[in-house]
Amino acid sequence: MNEASILITLATVHFVALMSPGPDFALVVQNATRYGRQTGTYIALGLSLGILIHATLSITGVSYIVHQQPVLFALLQAAGGSYLLYLGSGALVATWRLWGTPPAPIANDNSMMLENKRLAFSRGLITNLLNPKALVFFVSLMSSLVPVGMSFSGKGAALAILWGLSFAWFALLAWLLTRTAMQQRLRKISRYIDLLCGAVFTLLGAAILYQVVLNVMDHAL
């Protein structure tokens, strides 16, 4: 298989994975719906940078080393599960407290938007970086599709494709969710979106932490 075929296959597999529901998808939906297009775009930028970092570490073999070290991988899983649980429980508590109030309008204050940009970017980045499933996915993807002998330019093109597709998809999702007509509809059900996203984060975080506990118990026996 030549490098062009490898890059096309890589792009196809990655794009299918991007469209699959998960914490990255839920994070964009929740934040774009509540805080608007600009915040959603900065979430997309943070997520895509996290994907680029994962892909770079995988293509250089660093992630494979981490994956093969039970203690390091367990720590990553624990950190990722705890962070998702933190996001989920926070969303659930906030939704519960504001359940009886009307949906708040999207803020246009410049200072608040600046704060939201920084928070959105860092939240997107951390959510992706601490997702142990992302590490496993990219280790599998890179080891199976990107040969060791691939040229430096080919590997660079692979990283650019992964980042570009990721940012384009999540930014497009944020744009679609914040079109005027769509925004008016979504604001009416924003509390249910927050509730669903909070439940997704909580369940994923709890499942990851449960898996960590099981792995620790298995190694202890």
What pLDDT score does 113 carry? 45
What pLDDT score does 103 carry? 54
What pLDDT score does 102 carry? 59
What pLDDT score does 98 carry? 66
What pLDDT score does 165 carry? 94
What pLDDT score does 114 carry? 44
What pLDDT score does 76 carry? 81
DSSP labels, the chain: --HHHHHHHHHHHHHHHHHS-SHHHHHHHHHHHHH-HHHHHHHHHHHHHHHHHHHHHHHTTHHHHHHT-HHHHHHHHHHHHHHHHHHHHHHHHHHHHTTTSPPPPPP--HHHHHHHHHHHHHHHHHHHHT-HHHHHHHHHHHHHHS-TT--HHHHHHHHHHHHHHHHHHHHHHHHHHTSHHHHHHHHHTHHHHHHHHHHHHHHHHHHHHHHHHHHHHHHH-
What pLDDT score does 74 carry? 82
Positions in the chain whose pLDDT score sits under 70:
1, 98-115, 183-184, 186-187, 190, 219-221
What pLDDT score does 171 carry? 95
Residue 106: its H or E element: none
